[in-house]
Amino acid sequence: MARTERQTDRQAEYVCPACKQPVETVLARHKTLGIFVPHWGPGPCHSPGCRNYEPESVDTDDSARGLGSVGR
């Protein structure tokens, strides 16, 4: 019997190698044979007690998002 539904739940979760806490999955892409191919990998660790801790960055500067310039 063929399965017609696509599995959408996550099969595995990435963990931080230092503290073994789960980390988010980030999407990167690279170009292969003229097309962009998605590549999923582990994101930074946001656990404050971890040695690989990276604080979440919050961009409040409007120029970082391009709001200060007007495209013509």
Residue 48 within any structural domain of the chain: yes
Global pTM value? 0.51
In which domain, by residue range, is 26 found? 14-55
**In a domain? residue 8:** no
In a domain? residue 2 = no
Residue 51 included in any domain: yes
Q: What is the pLDDT along the chain (72 residues), one digit of tens a residue?
A: 566 776 566 567 888 888 988 888 888 898 999 999 988 888 898 888 888 888 877 655 555 555 554 554
Residue 2 CA to residue 35 CA, distance in Å, equals: 30
Instruction: Please indicate, yes or no, if residue 45 is contained in any of the structural domains.
Output: yes
- Residues 55 and 42: their CA atoms lie apart, in Å, by 15
Look at phi and psi of residue 23 and say left if phi exceeds 0, alpha if psi is from -120 to 50, else beta.
Answer: beta
In a domain, 9, yes or no: no
- The number of domains in the chain is 1
The verdict on residue 39 lying in a domain is yes
Q: Is 35 a member of any domain?
A: yes
- Per the CB < 8 A criterion, the answer to whether 27 and 40 are in contact is yes
CA distance 41 to 24: 9
